[in-house]
Amino acid sequence: MNISTEYPFWMVFLCIIAGLGYAVIMYYKNKRHDFSPLLTKVMAFLRFTVVFILSFLLMTPLLKTIVHTNEKPIIVFAQDNSQSVTINKDSAFYKKEYKQKIDNLLKQLSKKYEVKSFSFDDKVVEGLPFNYDGKQTDIALLFQDLITRYTNRNVGAIILASDGIFNKGNNPIYASGKIKAPIYSIALGDTILRKDLLIKKVNYNRITYLGNTFPLEIIVNANKAIGQKAKLKVTHGQKEIFNKTINISNDQYSETINFISEAKESGIQRYTISISPVTDEITLSNNRKDIFIEVLDARQKILILSAVPHPDISAIKQTLENNKNYDVEVVLANDFNKQVSDYNLLILHQLPSVNNVMGKLFADIQKANTPVLFILGAQSNISQFNASNSGLVIAIKNQAFNDALPIFTKEFPYFTVSEETQKMINNFPPLTSFYGTYKISTSAEPLLNQKIGNVTTNQPLILFNQTLGTKNGIICGEGLWKWKLTNYAQKNNTEAFDEIITKIVQYLSIRVEKGLFKVINNTIFEENQNIEFDAELYNNSYELINDADIDMTISNSSGKKFQYQFGRTFNAYHLNAGIYPQGDYKFQAIVKLKNKTLTQNGVFSVVAMDAEFSNTLANHQMLYNLAKKNGGEMVYPVQIESLVEKLINRDDIKTVKYTQKRFNDLISLTWIFFLILGLLTAEWFIRKRNGGY
């Protein structure tokens, strides 16, 4: 320990001179009070000391200390806590006798080393529960965690107790590359192939569409069951939809079975794949696998309403019916008596018409916010159409008509049309459109403009108008059936006509989400995942807000309910409901926005994790290679006691001595303050005690 300062050392003499000068002036030049020679010297010394210390502190002195510390070697013990460890005949050993062996090992090591214990599966935790309930094994994650915790620490060795089976993360041999300590592995589990039938893997698409077929690829393995038979079944709900008898022809049998199913119901559908057991299987946990497929009802309901029968309607209907995602219904306007809210798109052919202004229908359309495609023609009531706020107003002149050829506009923003179709449409015949002045709103975008004779105009032939939450399209002429016939006559197909009609309908039928309240969540979670939700709440100007409370109720299949409240983020909401057991669940989120109560309902499923049962054969070769690569050894449970001697005999596992220099401002030391205060107090007390001022 020593003191240093940034000023020259000779300036200390100035501090001494300052202290002496102050003491002399105070007690030897000032004769108003006579003290005994001893008291004078004592008080002069006290004053000298105070002034010297204060002067010296003005030189910003630093207190330099050198600290020596000894760090014992750290021995890290990491225990595999996954289910695969106990899937063998020695499961009782690992739960009782093995635990005692490890406790004794750690007790012996603690006498000489600092011991840190961890358990790992798909996460790493401190401590040793020995309950073997982990659903997945990620050894690479263990190494990453240890590197984070013990970088630049004196880690003597890592003892890894595992069966070597990993089903998540990177290969442990590569992941251990940054580990600087030797790794000793304890080889757990069983390397003897035992009788077992299992569903190794099921390959499938997690999402499909209602009415579509989808494939399942099932990989079945059988060990030590040669000559036996087993039955594979696939069930959906309570119904068996597929079965096959498997003849096991060798001791390590594997077969891939392909099966095509049809999605007949929308929503989350559970399919169970199971294989019948044989006698003396090591475990039955891997004889069954549940998969969940989300079936989306993507079919769009399209209603074609017309003033009168027309060949355009037949041409459009045939095109849409060729697409299985569309359910098309054609009705004359005078016969329609259903709800427009039941449809994704309304195609109004020459409606409103001169004979039917459709007043109630338009009110229902606005209320239901249903997209509309107007097709104008000779029967259209233009004045009534202009009042529909469609994005287009036509000032007609004398009910006259033009033959309008189609011309593509540049940079249409909503969808693309192939070059082949664009070339084909340039050859299409004209549509019969109204002669007049066309005025489009700023929110409208034309896809095709009208070409009258040889003159290309800015008047739209097909255009779209989109405002907040609403969409509609307008075809400003009749005669679409001629386009289809021309397409077929020139190309022997109707691909160009079909593309343009399908693109128009597809764009319009996809609804713009306008709801003020949305809950965003996954529909399928694994049983070790947290169930999390996000929510968004909007005001009437469609701005994100989060000043209201959102309550969430989750119900399981037996009707038990769990209550939560969303937490607020910057301008939205988030909820972490924790981990739920395997099963199907429903939820309802409720929020009060001023005088409205908004709700969102949904479902989700929690699926079982069976990765630990898909491989029951321990991988001791990996453990051996891991230890060899990192300068350690592999031992078996019966050799656990030998680890103490192996570690003690290593010359590279030893206590490390660290030397550290520390600099502290002398003025920041609390005892300096109390020293000065004590000196001044002592001087004051002596002066007062002996009659001084």
Region 536-559: mean pLDDT is 89
Q: Could you report the per-residue pLDDT of 257-276, keeping only the tens digit for each?
A: 999 999 888 888 889 999 99
Q: Which two tokens stand for residue 627?
A: 């230890």
CA–CA separation, 234 and 216 (whole Å): 10
CA–CA separation, 59 and 70 (whole Å): 35
Contacts of 570 (CB under 8 A, 6+ apart): none
Q: Could you report the per-residue pLDDT of 127-161, keeping only the tens digit for each?
A: 999 999 898 999 999 999 999 999 989 999 999 99
For domain 517-607, say whether CATH 2.60.40.1180 is its number.
Answer: no
Single out the residue of 627, 653, 652, 629 nearest to residue 159, CA to CA: 627
Residue 77 pairs in a beta bridge with 117, 159
pLDDT at 526 over 80: yes
Q: Could you report the per-residue pLDDT of 51-73, keeping only the tens digit for each?
A: 999 998 888 888 888 888 888 99
CA–CA separation, 591 and 609 (whole Å): 34
Q: Which residues of 185-212 are buried (b: 16+ CB within 10 A; e: fewer)?
A: bbbbbbeeebbbbbbbebebeeebbbee
Residue showing tokens 């099921």: 202
Least confident window among 254-258, 305-309, 657-661: 657-661
N- to C-terminal Cα separation, the chain: 41
The domain 73-191+617-654: what is its CATH number? 3.40.50.410
Q: How confident is the model at residue 511 (pLDDT cuts 50, 70, 90)?
A: low
CA–CA separation, 646 and 252 (whole Å): 39
The pLDDT, as a whole number, for residue 237 is 84
The mean of the pLDDT values for the chain is: 90
Other residues' Cβ atoms within 10 Å of the Cβ of residue 316:
27
Q: How confident is the model at residue 1 (pLDDT cuts 50, 70, 90)?
A: low
Q: Could you report the per-residue pLDDT of 357-388, keeping only the tens digit for each?
A: 787 888 888 888 889 999 999 999 999 999 88
Region 240-254: mean pLDDT is 93
pLDDT at 430 over 90: yes
Q: What percent of the chain has pLDDT over 70?
A: 97
Q: How confident is the model at residue 552 (pLDDT cuts 50, 70, 90)?
A: very high
Query: Nearest 5 degrees, angle CA 625-CA 627-CA 631?
Result: 120
Residue showing tokens 């497929």: 293
The pLDDT, as a whole number, for residue 89 is 64
| Domain limits, the chain | 2-67+663-689, 73-191+617-654, 196-296, 300-509, 517-607
Single out the residue of 74, 85, 84, 78 nearest to residue 109, CA to CA: 74
The pLDDT, as a whole number, for residue 513 is 57
The pLDDT, as a whole number, for residue 78 is 97
The pLDDT, as a whole number, for residue 31 is 58
Q: How confident is the model at residue 34 (pLDDT cuts 50, 70, 90)?
A: low
pTM: 0.60
pLDDT at 32 over 60: no
Write the burial class of residue 587 (CB in 10 Å: 0-12 exposed, 13-18 middle, 19+ buried).
buried
H-assigned helices in 67-135: 91-95, 97-110
Q: Which residue has the higher pLDDT, 190 or 33?
A: 190
Q: What is the 3-state secondary structure (H, E, C) of 251-277?
A: CEEEEEEEEEEECCCCEEEEEEEEECC
Kindly tell me the number of DSSP H helices and DSSP E strands found in the chain. 15, 36
Q: How confident is the model at residue 28 (pLDDT cuts 50, 70, 90)?
A: confident
The pLDDT, as a whole number, for residue 448 is 95
Q: How confident is the model at residue 668 (pLDDT cuts 50, 70, 90)?
A: confident
Whether residue 471 contacts residue 289, with contact meaning beta carbons closer than 8 Å, is answered with no
Least confident window among 72-76, 217-221, 334-338, 448-452: 334-338
Q: How confident is the model at residue 397 (pLDDT cuts 50, 70, 90)?
A: confident
Region 503-517: mean pLDDT is 80
The pLDDT, as a whole number, for residue 469 is 65
The pLDDT, as a whole number, for residue 589 is 96
Q: How confident is the model at residue 247 (pLDDT cuts 50, 70, 90)?
A: very high
Q: What percent of the chain has pLDDT over 90?
A: 56
Count of CA atoms in the C-beta half-sphere (13 A) of 298: 14
Least confident window among 185-189, 461-465, 530-534, 601-605: 601-605
Q: Which residue has the higher pLDDT, 59 or 88?
A: 59
Residue showing tokens 């259903």: 338
pLDDT at 299 over 80: no
Q: Which residue has the higher pLDDT, 397 or 461?
A: 461
pLDDT at 354 over 80: yes
Q: Which two tokens stand for residue 383?
A: 């004045």
What is the identity of the amino acid at 26? M
The pLDDT, as a whole number, for residue 693 is 58
Region 613-629: mean pLDDT is 91
The domain 196-296: what is its CATH number? 2.60.40.10
pLDDT at 415 over 60: yes
CA–CA separation, 159 and 94 (whole Å): 17
Domains 73-191+617-654 and 196-296 in one fold: no
CA–CA separation, 448 and 426 (whole Å): 10
H-assigned helices in 454-613: 480-491, 495-509
Fold assignment, 300-509 = Rossmann fold (3.40.50)
Region 571-588: mean pLDDT is 93
Region 81-99: mean pLDDT is 85
The pLDDT, as a whole number, for residue 380 is 92
Sequential DSSP letters for 485-512: HHHHHHHSS-HHHHHHHHHHHHHHHSPP
Contacts of 302 (CB under 8 A, 6+ apart): 320, 326, 327, 328, 329, 343, 344, 345, 347, 505, 509
pLDDT at 670 over 90: no
Q: Could you report the per-residue pLDDT of 592-611, keeping only the tens digit for each?
A: 988 889 999 998 989 888 77
